[in-house]
Copies of this chain bind each other. A is one copy, B any other.
């Protein structure tokens, strides 16, 4: 190797924050280079193009998130309730500590074909579906685990979205116990009906 890639992470960090704030199509190479303190051509030493970089960052960030979430959801030594609770706390802590990364994941969710890009074992959607499938139910197996996963995901993520847009004033992390309670009640639905 001739030279260490000193600017690569600066470029990635700049791109990530701009993508999170404005979305990929409204972010220009010029913006990224300016924020990273780098020439416009530098990006092409590391990625074939802007979109390829966006996809790579999406994959990296979501899989990083999934890799941290997975052991919390599936720790065999802990109860369902305990795993649920710490998973939710983890997500909101992540939102607090890495708002750029979290927002980027949230926003680009609609922009990329996640299932083609992400390994299922690290894709949060797949992880939650698996969690729900494993979760004990009076009916076994559950009627529609994907629906239940959607209810959980929606209930957990929407407060973060609403906080992000200034509607919810309290930080979700302070509300994690309430959300956990809500999710427990959702998990009970089929049991209650059985």
Contacts and interface: CB of A to CB of B under 8 A. Distances in A.
A154 interface: yes
Interface residues of A, number: 42
Count copies of this chain in the complex. 2
Contact of A26 (B25, B147, B162, B167): B25
Contacts of A182: 151, 186, 189
A100 to B, nearest CB: 15
A115 B162 CA distance: 12
B147 A23 contact: no
Interface of A: 23, 25-26, 106-107, 110-111, 114-115, 125, 129, 144, 146-147, 149-151, 153-159, 161-162, 165-170, 175, 178-179, 181-182, 185-186, 188-189, 193
